Structure 1
Amino acid sequence: MLDGLHLTLLIGPAVPVPAPTEVLDALEGVQINSGGDRSGFQLSFQVGKRSVLQTTLLPAGYFDPIVTRVIVIATVRGIPNVLADGVVTRQELSPSNDPGKSTLTITGEDLSLLMDLVEMPFMRFPAMPVIARVYAILAKYAAFGIAPIAIPPIVPDIPNPLEEMPHQNGTDREYLQQLASSCGYTFYVEPGPTPGANIAYFGPDVRIPAPQPALNVNMDAHTNVESLSFSLDGTAKKIVVMTVMDPITRRTPIPIPVPNISVLRPPMGVRPTPPARVEFPGYVAHLNPSDAANMALGIVLGAQDAISGTGTLDVLRYGHVLRSRMMVGVRGAGLAYDGLYYVNSVSHDIKRGQFKQSFNLSRDGLISNTPVVPP
């Protein structure tokens, strides 16, 4: 690989081990998408008729879906970064008439896929609050190196077993995402920080305050990104008006506006974009007080940002691996768009001789509320 960059590929049916030399020599490129509810990866190999991958590994089940686990580690300037840890879901072979130009493509998802394979329609959780259900479900996946980090809902809800019996519909991942959505939380599985370890996070979309090294644009020799552009969507912000019945007669509707401000996301712009839309959800009046409160908190915690930024960078020029779900500073874009941003998603593209990233940023308003950003 490049100077200052080393790629490690671990593959195995149970415990991933370093890939053999024949596999690494045939590796043509690695694409990884991180951020959001799910992450995925794709490995591309160039194979010939007499390649070991064709004659031995594929027939022996080396890349079999579901049972094969893949870990990708990129070491940049001596610091290892676990970019992907998941299972193979698909393999594709594209034969070519040119010798040695056939392509084998291996596609996979993060380990949350293992939670989406078996439906559990008869699972019951008597008198168990949401946090207890989350830990009970995630305990089954400790053998895969998944450590749960779950935060209880802000409004607790302990069901009365004489009135209701919480039960699971669908797979574990579907139920966890349903629980997260009901209280304004998010659920995802993040690889790392060490190979073979993963974090299953259930909680609010909190923005880690420690920013990553700044992205410099239009700064001559100090520029460390290849491209970076911003846009402001005037219709992204909205006010949701929830209509609830008065607690005494249960007949008089009371409109309650929910602000489009996330209490767990610190403002990063001095001039927040004002809301341009008003919505009235029509399924609130029948909810009990705790469910209605969790729904309102979900709207507050999930407030969208009006400003978005997209760009690409070369990792070696940037000097670090840009990570999603963290903050990063921007310099050189002008007074309106300089400052701190939240990294929503990152796509890694690794080939022989290059390691590039595409990223998506967002924040709530114009003009930075900090005088400088960390270099």
Structure 2
Amino acid sequence: MSLMIGSRMTVPPIAPPRLSEALERVEVSYSDQGRSGFQLSFRMGRGLKDLLDYSLVTERLLKPINNRVVIVVYFNVSRHVLLDGIITNHQLSPSNDPGAATLTVTGEDVGLVMNLEEKRQMQPWSDIVCIESILKNYSYLGFTLCDDNVSDPARQAPSETAQQPTQAGITDLAYIQSLAGRYGYRFYITPGPIPGSNRVYWGGQNRKGPSQKALSANMGPHTNVDSISFQYDALGPSRFGYFQNDQKQTPISQGSSERLQSPLAGETVPVHRTSALEDTGLYSQMADESVAGKLAQARFDTLLNDPITGSGELDAMRYGGILEIGKLVDVRGVGRSYDGTYYVKSVNHRIDVRKKEYKQGFTLTRDGFGPVSPRVSV
């Protein structure tokens, strides 16, 4: 593992020995919805040079907001950027035992810098162009926008009678999140592939690409999970029954209430709840009615929440790599009903430097029971 700390305006250098040698624990949490964060725990004591205060408490490289932390982990010859974030908080825990005091440094992903200043300004007509424009203001963070799962409505300009969108007194981050909520999209930032660069995902749930290395349970020497469990929530998914605006309710045909995304399960479960598709004013602004329909479909795909949830913990050393959010992973060894492909919704990384342990907690989701294919990627 490699620790890098420095100014948030540049790619930070390798941390000095006084910090890397004191680092005891690392915890990093990622989710495909909401903010991602981290905690670094440093063990410290006070010698003759630290009579007035703990040296790490006054360490300039650990000052909140101004400093950026990057952590890189290595599996064999493969490099993975585990963390790229901004320090926001300190917590000191003194101890009566010599050298047992702890300084816990907490922070958020680099998206924090987009949440420091409220702005009032006009934005481009196309939402995807708007996001690209905002990200250019933070080029020093190495942002790359991943928009492969963005539907037509986000790329289409509204009708000529629509008002130009305005960022009305909110931060850049809050504005991007509001646009994501309009379409039912996911918005999150993950570090890499090289230190100092970051991938920005803004779009629908990603069900494309190959699966990651399989999670195996009850497989003897091939087992790589410490624990795993599953839950079926029959009231989780919902469908749109009608379109609601100020004047009337318009029924939505059954054909338009079918998910366009590829199923992850061989047997989808029935939907028992019906909701209304509220008119946000965006549908009437669309120049093309078919695009407005696609927007409604995108929101429906999000409303139809995956009723199957899996959670557990794995040993990263035994797994041989990092389980990444926003991608697919195969599960085997838990029985036909729950074997198969899942979407990785969240991952929590926990590294104990002194014990040389690396654990990953995870949450998986999908739309039904049974695998689509009898084979999984191992």
TM superposition score normalised by structure 1: 0.89
Q: Which of 138, 141, 144 matches 2:135?
A: 138
The alpha carbon displacement at 1:208 in A equals 3.5
**Correspondence for 2:101:** 102
* Counterpart mapping for 1:302-317 below 5 A: 302-317=303-318
* Counterpart mapping for 1:204-215 below 5 A: 204-215=204-215
Q: Distance in 2 between matches of 1:129 and 1:183?
A: 13
Q: Distance in 2 between matches of 1:208 and 1:82?
A: 22
**Contact 2:237 2:303 (C-alpha < 8 Å) held by counterparts:** no
* Counterpart mapping for 1:121-200 below 5 A: 121=120, 123-125=121-123, 128-150=125-147, 153-155=151-153, 156-159=155-158, 163-169=162-168, 170-200=170-200
* Counterpart mapping for 1:268-287 below 5 A: 268-283=264-279, 287=283
- Corresponding residue SS for 2:211: strand
**Correspondence for 2:2:** 8
Q: Distance in 2 between matches of 1:354 and 1:219?
A: 22
The residue identity in structure 2 corresponding to 1:328 is: V
The alpha carbon displacement at 1:286 in A equals 9.0
Q: Which of 28, 31, 35 matches 2:24?
A: 28
The alpha carbon displacement at 1:301 in A equals 4.3
1:304-348, CA deviations, whole angstroms, 9 ceiling, x for partnerless residues?
111111111111111222111111111111111111111111111
Q: Which of 360, 363, 366 matches 1:360?
A: 363
**Correspondence for 2:344:** 343
- Corresponding residue SS for 1:164: coil
How many residue pairs align between the two structures? Answer: 362
**Contact 2:91 2:104 (C-alpha < 8 Å) held by counterparts:** yes
**Contact 2:314 2:361 (C-alpha < 8 Å) held by counterparts:** yes
The alpha carbon displacement at 1:260 in A equals 5.7
Q: Distance in 2 between matches of 1:302 and 1:50?
A: 58
The residue identity in structure 2 corresponding to 1:363 is: R
Q: Distance in 1 between matches of 2:100 and 2:208?
A: 44
The residue identity in structure 2 corresponding to 1:110 is: D
**Correspondence for 1:69:** 68
The alpha carbon displacement at 1:221 in A equals 2.1
The alpha carbon displacement at 1:71 in A equals 0.4
**Correspondence for 1:267:** 263
* Counterpart mapping for 1:210-225 below 5 A: 210-225=210-225
- Corresponding residue SS for 2:304: coil
Q: Distance in 1 between matches of 2:127 and 2:281?
A: 22
1:129-173, CA deviations, whole angstroms, 9 ceiling, x for partnerless residues?
212211111110112212233465422542467651311031001
TM superposition score normalised by structure 2: 0.88
Q: Distance in 1 between matches of 2:98 and 2:248?
A: 77
**Correspondence for 2:86:** 87
Q: Which runs of 5+ in 2 are unaligned?
A: none
**Correspondence for 1:297:** 298
Residue 52 and residue 20 in structure 1: after superposition, are their counterparts in 2 closer, same or farther (change >3 A)? farther
**Correspondence for 2:328:** 327
- Amino-acid identity (%): 36
Q: Which runs of 5+ in 1 are unaligned?
A: 1-6
The alpha carbon displacement at 1:39 in A equals 1.2
1:181-234, CA deviations, whole angstroms, 9 ceiling, x for partnerless residues?
212322221100111111122222222421111111112222111111111111
Residue 133 and residue 282 in structure 1: after superposition, are their counterparts in 2 closer, same or farther (change >3 A)? closer
Q: Distance in 2 between matches of 1:321 and 1:31?
A: 14
**Contact 2:11 2:195 (C-alpha < 8 Å) held by counterparts:** no
The residue identity in structure 1 corresponding to 2:339 is: D
- Corresponding residue SS for 2:252: strand
**Correspondence for 1:3:** none
Q: Distance in 2 between matches of 1:39 and 1:94?
A: 24
Q: Distance in 2 between matches of 1:119 and 1:88?
A: 20
**Contact 1:22 1:52 (C-alpha < 8 Å) held by counterparts:** no
The alpha carbon displacement at 1:255 in A equals 1.0
**Correspondence for 2:36:** 39
**Contact 2:239 2:300 (C-alpha < 8 Å) held by counterparts:** no
- Corresponding residue SS for 2:146: strand
1:329-373, CA deviations, whole angstroms, 9 ceiling, x for partnerless residues?
111111111111111111111002211111111111111110110
- Corresponding residue SS for 2:180: helix
Residue 262 and residue 72 in structure 1: after superposition, are their counterparts in 2 closer, same or farther (change >3 A)? farther
The alpha carbon displacement at 1:114 in A equals 0.6
Residue 66 and residue 286 in structure 1: after superposition, are their counterparts in 2 closer, same or farther (change >3 A)? closer
Q: Distance in 1 between matches of 2:322 and 2:162?
A: 51
Residue 284 and residue 107 in structure 1: after superposition, are their counterparts in 2 closer, same or farther (change >3 A)? closer
**Contact 2:266 2:371 (C-alpha < 8 Å) held by counterparts:** yes
- Corresponding residue SS for 2:61: coil
